[in-house]
């Protein structure tokens, strides 16, 4: 049995099929997906069909584009001009897809395999036990198991850049929004844990005073290697061995990448369009 992690699919269903073929993915293998399964690319519905059919064989964490879809479907938000959710939103069983997605995880950890995965990464201001517990707080809301806050209300109020800095005393929506932002939108961070929400480009163009979150994270902060996607401009390059970026920009015409967790070997396929 092998375990593979694949980067941001963003509706690239054809490349997903090609990559699974190329790695010889089999019925006994396990697949980890770093989130952003949908949006921007051409075949979000096809990706959802494939992933949902894999059941427990596939471990999915939610990305900002997956949450955006849920915020449209459950929270009454409108798609933006570059969103490509139309086919998904108009399919006959969109309700089943949406309910399936909201039951996905925010963080997946397998200490035995030596990896933890979230969409955007993990900040240096937490440790692994905190990160797991905080991710679980949001998962509880999304699953509809929170005693005071419904998942619909969460999606209505999910958006916002505030609070920009984690504080353990945060409560209610500001707390869940903050956790969600760290786990699904983080790129640059200040030493005190404040998040920047503007810079999406290359590291060489990062504004002064900010650092990529992964420069502040090592095995003393998080014992397992941290798998993430979300930051296509990095092209997978973190310049350390403890954090592994898997978004290699398939939806932008570059590549879709799979990591074999047991060997550390990466396999990629080129984007079919772009």
Q: Which is nearer to Mn ion, 64 or 178 (CB)?
A: 64
Q: Which is nearer to Mn ion, 178 or 180 (CB)?
A: 180
Tell me which residue has tokens 């963003």: 10
Measured CA to CA, the distance from residue 176 to residue 174 in angstroms comes to: 6
Q: How far is the CB of 231 from Mn ion (least distance, A)?
A: 8
Residue 18, H or E segment = helix 13-22
Q: How far is the CB of 71 from Mn ion (least distance, A)?
A: 14
Q: What is the CA radius of gyration of the chain?
A: 17
Neighbours of 60 (CB within 10 A): 23
Measured CA to CA, the distance from residue 173 to residue 138 in angstroms comes to: 10
Neighbours of 114 (CB within 10 A): 12
Instruction: Map residue 11 onto helix, strand or coil.
Output: coil
Q: How far is the CB of 72 from Mn ion (least distance, A)?
A: 16
Contacts with Mn ion, residue ranges (CB under 5 A): 36, 63-64, 230
Q: Which is nearer to Mn ion, 25 or 47 (CB)?
A: 47
Measured CA to CA, the distance from residue 241 to residue 226 in angstroms comes to: 9
Q: Which is nearer to Mn ion, 20 or 186 (CB)?
A: 186
Q: Which is nearer to Mn ion, 25 or 234 (CB)?
A: 234
What is the chain's length?
A: 274
Q: Which is nearer to Mn ion, 94 or 233 (CB)?
A: 233
Q: Which is nearer to Mn ion, 20 or 232 (CB)?
A: 232
Q: In the complex, which residue's CB is closest to Mn ion?
A: 230
Q: How far is the CB of 259 from Mn ion (least distance, A)?
A: 17
85 φ, ψ (degrees, to nearest 5): -95, 0
Q: How far is the CB of 34 from Mn ion (least distance, A)?
A: 9
Q: Are 200 and 233 in contact (CB under 8 A)?
A: yes
Q: How far is the CB of 13 from Mn ion (least distance, A)?
A: 18
Measured CA to CA, the distance from residue 13 to residue 33 in angstroms comes to: 13
Q: How far is the CB of 245 from Mn ion (least distance, A)?
A: 12
Four-CA torsion 180, 181, 184, 190, nearest 10 degrees: -140
Q: In Å, what is the CA distance from 235 to each residue of 178, 232, 248? A: 26, 5, 5
């Amino acid at each position: 049995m092998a375990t593979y992690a694949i980067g941001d699919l963003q509706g690239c269903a054809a490349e997903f099929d090609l990559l699974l073929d190329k790695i010889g993915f089999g019925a006994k293998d396990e697949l980890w997906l770093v989130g952003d399964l949908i949006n921007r690319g051409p075949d979000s519905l096809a990706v959802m069909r494939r992933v949902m059919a894999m059941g427990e064989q596939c471990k999915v964490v939610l990305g900002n584009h997956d949450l955006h879809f849920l915020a449209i479907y459950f929270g009454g938000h409108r798609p933006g001009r570059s969103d490509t959710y139309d086919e998904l939103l108009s399919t006959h069983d969109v309700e089943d897809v949406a309910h399936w997605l909201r039951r996905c995880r925010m963080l997946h950890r397998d200490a035995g395999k030596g990896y933890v995965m979230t969409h955007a990464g993990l900040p240096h201001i937490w440790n692994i036990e905190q990160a797991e517990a905080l991710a679980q707080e949001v998962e509880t809301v999304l699953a509809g198991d929170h005693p005071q806050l419904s998942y619909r209300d969460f999606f209505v109020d999910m958006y916002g850049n505030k609070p920009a800095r984690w504080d353990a005393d945060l409560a209610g929506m500001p707390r869940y929004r903050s956790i969600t932002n760290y786990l699904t939108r983080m790129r640059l961070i200040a030493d005190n844990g404040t998040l920047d929400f503007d810079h999406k480009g290359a590291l060489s163009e990062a504004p002064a005073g900010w650092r990529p979150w992964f420069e502040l994270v090592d095995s003393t902060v998080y014992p397992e290697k941290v798998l993430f996607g979300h930051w296509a401009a990095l092209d997978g390059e973190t310049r350390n061995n403890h954090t592994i970026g898997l978004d290699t920009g398939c939806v932008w015409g570059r590549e879709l990448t799979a990591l074999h967790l047991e060997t550390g070997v990466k396999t990629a396929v080129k984007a079919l369009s772009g």
